[in-house]
A and B are shown apart, each in its own frame.
Chain A
Amino acid sequence: MSLPAEPMQQKRPFWTMARRDAAAGYVFIAPQLVGIITFVLVPLGLVFWYSLHEWNVLASTFNYVGAANYQMLLADPNLPSVLLASAIFSVGLVILNMSLALLLAVLLDQKLRGLVVFRTLFFSPVVVSLVAWTIVWSFLLQNNGGINGMLAMLGIEGPNWLRTPTTALISVVVVQVFKNVGLNMVLFLAALQGVPKELYEAARVDGAGRFKQFRRITLPLISPTILLTSIITVVGSLQVFAQIAVLTQGGPGMSTTVLVYYLYQQAFQFHFFGYGSTLSILLFVIVAALTFAQWQLRKRIVFYEN
């Protein structure tokens, strides 16, 4: 054997440039990854595992029951009204929230003195504690509370907002809209201000009116933001809990028992942790499906400049 004796030079160092880059990348995403694994993936797996069991906390029994909880889900007499309440809540919230946010953003996208005050005012509820916000509204919405007091001054006898099925659901939606409309408004405002002004000038030269400018220029150019806010709002609407817990506890009747609140009742009030887990799987599937559908829609509706 007469190979040249230069093994030291031929052995490549372990830390090549590519490996260094990869390692650095992993280190950078590690905190986020650890968070996602610990607080999202593991709990998600566990919830699915629990949904296959009958878990009586008090008796500390934990028995595998297979798909029994899912069969119970299909046969649950309360589920249709719960899903209907969730759907009405979400649709109402999304429509009201997005249209109000867009309207406010368009109104505030002017060069006028004092507009910054209004912007701050509309945004301020976003940074207020959700529970504090809701408790204040619960006082306002009481039968003898502030809102009916004001209506009485105008000679109108207001309804018992939180104790009538229709008005209770409307109240919860409106309280939630006022809480979060500022966030969508700011996002819309940023998008509106990103629309190049020369496009409007060109449109005006071509004889387009205000409404046509809005429909043909503004809407397409802010459509990515519309998609983003609609996803945030839809997902957020399905997670509504604190407002229901504080304002109505799901009543009157079952009129404001939305899916998350029903899930909470089953798991934490009735101690059916297995069935509660099954309901959260249902919620997960619904949120995932809606988000996927919205993401698919972007190809058709959302306009990207490049």
Chain B
Amino acid sequence: MKTNHLKASAAIAGIVLGLAATGTAWAQDAVNLRMTIWSANEAHLATFNEIAEGFKATHPNVTVSFEPLPFDSYTTTLTTQIAGGNPPDLAWILETTAADFVNSGALAPLTDAFAATEGYDLADVTEQATALWTKDGQLFAYPFSTSPFAIFANNDVIKAAGAKTPAELIAAGEWNWDNAFATAATVGQSGKTGLVVRDFKYQVWQNMASIWNGWGATPWSADGKTCTFADQPMVDAMTAIHKAIFTDKAMPGPGEDIDFFAGETGMTITQISRASLLPTENPFDWDLVPLPAGPVGEYAVVGQAGVGAFAAGANVDTAVEFLAYMTNPENSQKLAQFFPPARASLLNAETLAATNPLLSAEQIDNVVISGISNGVVLPGHTNFAQIQQTIRASLDSLWVADADVAAVLGNVCSSVSPLLAR
């Protein structure tokens, strides 16, 4: 009985493989691709499904399903799926874990497949956007979203507190961190909240890069081996942040969870894709402005998200083909309405204005285009999760009123240095 079964299976497998080899699409070789994502936004999903339907025109046997996972535990859930022997075929990847995924060998190389895809125009994808996702000249994930950090302002709240709005400061040529903190402090001392660094919550310290880059500060050296948390630029930046929180009440203190989009906050630093959270009922007078200039001048910070195909998947070639289709010029334009694109040809005011109806031409020009062109990516590192936790634990003692900033940052470096040196 058993051997008969085996023979039958082998025979069927032979037939199916033979058919597959001739390129005939039969029901037997139906391919189901699964992509994990961290957005459950219905408009996003509708666009993805539309792209997946379009792929069926050339690949009638391929179905793509999109699996939204909660953002907070996204990477944990993804790696648990991999550990459990059930990896998705494709997955979104956060910039902070890019190094882990790109260096691990878990992802399939994309460059050759993309270059061989007709009409793909790989040269159009900017080198700056792909740098994080490239190893030894091979692209391992496509940066489908390069989203600048910017400041959303609630002019109603700011004016009610009698402070200067960012637009007024920009017009006067005084849009720098001193004045931005001053506006936030006036709002904060009026009983509302001044400035919220979204998602920071005294845990996700890397989001503070949207401020400290203005001081030219970095958490570690360019090669990732040396801690630079205790260097002067970071000490100066953190001193300014600490003063803004504990002396000037410009930012909410630890343990206070406040959402800008609820309408009671002066300003928030977040990515422009959060514009979708602006309230449609009881709207307020909002503005979107670039990050203020720091002591080192004007700067920009971007967050990135990539999408890659897992090399161990059973349908890795089809997954890479789908990725090439999903990120071709035509579909990139569709995605650009949610995710600022990495293609130079799409980085112009007309394309972005058509796809971002909420933003004015000025906002697109000042924030989106200049942000993507000049922005540095949030810090990332191999083994980021452990480094993140270690720094978070040491940094906790900074978030008290009487902290010694330089001493705490020195402790950060002594605890994280062994991990960086590995």
Contacts and interface: CB of A to CB of B under 8 A. Distances in A.
Contact of A270 (B389, B392, B400): B389
A58 B312 CA distance: 10
B393 A250 contact: yes
Contacts of A163: 202, 254-255, 396, 399-400
Interface stretch (A4-12, A13-21, A185-193, A251-259): A251-259
A91 to B, nearest CB: 23
A58 B397 contact: no
B233 to A, nearest CB: 25
A55 B80 CA distance: 12
Contacts of A253: 393-394, 396-397
Residue in B83, B101, B202 with the greatest tally of chain A CB atoms within 10 Å: B83
Contacts of A160: 253-255
A291 interface: no
B386 A270 contact: yes
Interface string A237-264: 0000000000001111110010000000
Given A59-B105, A142-B255, A270-B385, A252 B397 contact: yes
A143 B256 contact: yes
Interface residues of A, number: 29
Interface in B236-258: 253-257
Given A249-B203, A251-B392, A269 B385 contact: yes
Nearest to B399: A163
A119 interface: no
B257 A273 contact: no
A44 B76 CA distance: 22
Nearest to B257: A142
A268 interface: yes
Contact of B79 (A145, A162, A265, A271): A271
A120 interface: no
Interface string B172-207: 000000000000000000000000000000110000
Interface in B359-396: 383, 385-386, 389, 392-394, 396
Contacts of B80: 268
A161 interface: yes
Main secondary structure of the interface of A (DSSP, over half): loop
Nearest to A57: B83
Interface residues of B, number: 29
B16 interface: no
A145 B254 CA distance: 12
Contacts of B392: 251
A160 B256 CA distance: 10
A246 to B, nearest CB: 11
A267 to B, nearest CB: 9
Nearest to A59: B104
Contacts of B82: 57-58, 60
B156 interface: no
B122 interface: no
Given A160-B253, A251-B393, A268-B80, 8 more contacts: A55-B83, A58-B101, A58-B106, A59-B105, A142-B257, A144-B256, A253-B394, A254-B393
17 contacts: A55-B83, A58-B100, A58-B104, A58-B105, A143-B253, A144-B255, A160-B255, A161-B255, A250-B389, A253-B396, A269-B76, A269-B385, A269-B386, A270-B383, A270-B385, A271-B100, A271-B385
Interface of B: 76, 79-80, 82-83, 100-101, 104-106, 202-203, 253-257, 312, 383, 385-386, 389, 392-394, 396-397, 399-400
The 10 A-B pairs of least Cβ separation, nearest first, read A58-B104, A252-B396, A143-B255, A270-B386, A59-B104, A163-B254, A57-B83, A58-B106, A269-B385, A163-B255
